[in-house]
A and B are shown apart, each in its own frame.
Chain A
Amino acid sequence: MSRILTLAGLVWLEMIRRKDIYVLLILLAAFLATLMALNLFGLGQVVSYLKEIGLLLAWVCSWILAVSVSTRQLPQEERQGTIFALLAKPVSRAEVLIGKWLGAWIVTGTATLVFYALLALVVFLRGGGFGGAVLAQAGLLHLGLLGIITALGIAFSTRFNADAASALTYVVTLAAWLVLPRAPDLVLTARGAAQTGLMAIYYALPHLELFDLRRRLVYGWPPAPDAVVLWILVYGLLMTAVFLTLGWLAYRNKPFTRGAML
């Protein structure tokens, strides 16, 4: 366990050194400032648009961060040749994989909480606020979602270089996000192979839409039932475990060649 935490700590240190989080945070702040500065037909004291667009931006930023951080960890080690030094130590490949995933998840999770805090501050300055219990649920489920995305990114990066892995992760998560919630009604109009394909996608891809509590948060609805949130978190944990296992299966016997990822 300590070896996994050490590896996760290395990811954390690397992210502090890099500028990705700062760039996204500045961009988010700039967007929110622009939204606040809009003269909405001269109407002040309205916040729901700020909450909705702000949350969307926070989600997009955390999604970009989760994919970029998770998919470059393993290819970076191979490209720099540090994977040889790493594996020469008493650390297994499974530990490397889990350590990298844990580091990526903690980094993106922390950044996401900072994004939420920034948004909450902006909304507060505008005279609004978020319901505490729903905010806690939304944050928790968002962390569950980031666990799946980072696990998927790590899994792809075991066999692809960073660019290919990130492109694949973007495509799969975007498809899951946009198509799956509509699949039950799209099936009504699809026929034959299209219908079969749609159902295959529906059951194969992770249901990321379950982790989205933004509308409850924006419009002041009461919290979701605790049992439902728990089930979704269990599902998120399961999907994370599935992707990490697939990643480990792809990684455990992978031969490394110096300069292969250059």
Chain B
Amino acid sequence: MKRPWARAGIWAALFLAVMWGTAFALCCRLTSMPLMPGDETDSPATAGSLAMASPVAIKALDASRMAVGDQLYEAADRTFHMGVGVYRQQAFTNWFTRLGQAVAPERHVHLQAEGVNELVPWLYLATRADPHNVEAYVVAAFWLAGEGGRPDLAERVMSEARTNNPKDYRVYLEKGRLALKSGALTEAARAFDAASRLWDRDPGPDKIQAQLDRAEILIYRGLLYEECGDVPRALTCYRDILALFPGRMGIRERLTELAEKGHARVAPAAMRQAIMFQRRHVCEREDH
């Protein structure tokens, strides 16, 4: 009598796993979909109609969705480091740990050139798990537009990011960067203005990162004002940066030069290029 049940066990388990996965995907889709145009929100906890129906269930679902998204984002980081995970301090070393170290790849290396596109699938999956993971969108767009050599796809990524996160300043900051890279200065200025307005409304939970982003918005905007010949507005931007970070000597010197001579020693376009095309700080040597 038991045998058919035992044999059917694996089928039942597989069926349940597939059903669970389908239900999870469906719930993710439903909770990230606005009811009507204009209902879009950046707060995952209140997204969609189900949030009103069962807040506890939705919060639990959102938490798991975000956790999956974070794991996928970590997978992207690991891919960028060619499979080398985050360094963890160990309490002891023995035969097992030594063998483990010999088997696992250990050097601190990064993907180069078009190879960086290999991390995009993980970021894609991270945004599917959590469409409010703006960082994943931004990182994908950054690499695609830079070493990945696909600025067209970067634009597409950021358009999707804006659809899902219309009130997040980081989306417009990245759109501004992309526009700068492609030389669309007017579009870039518009994007930085939008980013600045949204930053004023909601700078996000990470205060330090928000201040760094604010300074970046201001420096790009200041350089664009300079290129248009609007020095007073550029000066205002640089003063705002110094209010946030008084120790930035480069900005202080530029401010002085502009105030005294009406132009800076380094042309704004050259300065912009230098900031934009440097490889952004990624990780510390001892992290991996």
Contact = CB atoms under 8 A, between A and B. Distances in A.
Contacts of B75: 52
A163 interface: yes
Contacts of B92: 184, 187
Interface stretch (B3-11, B48-56, B181-189): B3-11
Contacts of A41: 120, 124, 140, 144, 153, 156-157, 160
Interface in B73-112: 75, 79, 82-84, 88-93, 96-97, 99-100, 102-105
Contact of B118 (A48, A182, A209, A228): A48
Indicate the size class of the contact surface on chain B.
35 or more
B103 A43 contact: no
Given A41-B160, A184-B93, A224-B103, 14 more contacts: A42-B153, A43-B120, A45-B117, A46-B121, A50-B121, A52-B79, A68-B10, A163-B9, A184-B90, A207-B99, A210-B100, A212-B103, A221-B83, A228-B103
A184 B91 contact: yes
Given A210-B99, A210-B103, A228-B102, A18 B120 contact: no
A93 interface: no
A52 B85 CA distance: 14
Nearest to B123: A41
Interface in B27-73: none
A181 B105 contact: no
A213 interface: yes
Nearest to A35: B121
Contacts of B124: 38, 40-41
Interface of B: 1-3, 6-7, 9-11, 14, 75, 79, 82-84, 88-93, 96-97, 99-100, 102-105, 117-118, 120-122, 124-125, 140, 144, 150, 153, 156-157, 160
A219 interface: yes
A228 B99 CA distance: 7
30 contacts: A38-B121, A38-B124, A40-B124, A41-B144, A41-B160, A45-B117, A48-B79, A49-B79, A49-B121, A49-B122, A64-B10, A162-B6, A163-B6, A182-B88, A185-B90, A188-B90, A207-B96, A209-B100, A210-B103, A212-B103, A215-B83, A216-B103, A218-B83, A219-B105, A220-B82, A228-B99, A228-B102, A228-B103, A262-B1, A262-B2
B140 A188 contact: no
A79 B99 contact: no
A188 B91 CA distance: 6
Contacts of A225: 102
Interface string A19-43: 0100100010000000000101111
A72 interface: yes
Given A48-B79, A215-B105, A216-B83, A20 B122 contact: no
Contacts of B83: 215-216, 218-219, 221
Contacts of A49: 79, 118, 121-122, 125
